[in-house]
Amino acid sequence: MSRPTTVPALALVCASAALIGGLLSGCTQRAPELPKAPAGGASSTTATVDYPIAIQRFGGVAGFGDTVNLQDDRTVLAKVNNGQVTCTLDPAAFSAISAAALAIGDSGANSTPTMAHADDLLVLLNGVPTDDARLKDVAPVVTTLFEDLARPKAQRTTCR
């Protein structure tokens, strides 16, 4: 009695399975490749200013209690001389104040500035006194802004 040969049938089954497997794998979607981190370490980020920028002036012989909030679109929302003012800051002053806020970052967030004398005038930009060395260039701009905000709207030059 002779045995039938099963090798060709087995080879046919294996070849069919391989062909079907190859066809099916071509129909499936591959997951998109994730971008790889740049070689050489951490990526660099550009520092940005967090708006609104808060400017406060209080104390002094006159007893100031003024606040200015500067938005990223140059809009100023201020409380000066017990009145509220809304205006648009000129581009030069906006750039100077934004650059100063960028220079100090969030260093004033946890500070509590104090006055040495009861009649001291304290002006803060994001919690940092304007007599801080990093703010020396912007202190005159802030002073001009407060003076401008105290004027009637028709007489303002820095914030209209």
Please state the three-class secondary structure of 12-72 as a single string: HHHHHHHHHHHHHHHHCCCCCCCCCCCCCCCCCCCCCCCCCEEEEEEECCCCEEEEEEECC
In a domain, 72, yes or no: yes
pLDDT of residue 62: 84
Percent of the chain surpassing pLDDT 90: 49
- Structure confidence at residue 118 as a pLDDT band (50, 70, 90): confident
Range of the domain at 101: 53-155
In a domain, 76, yes or no: yes
pTM for the complete prediction? 0.67
How many structural domains comprise the chain? Answer: 1
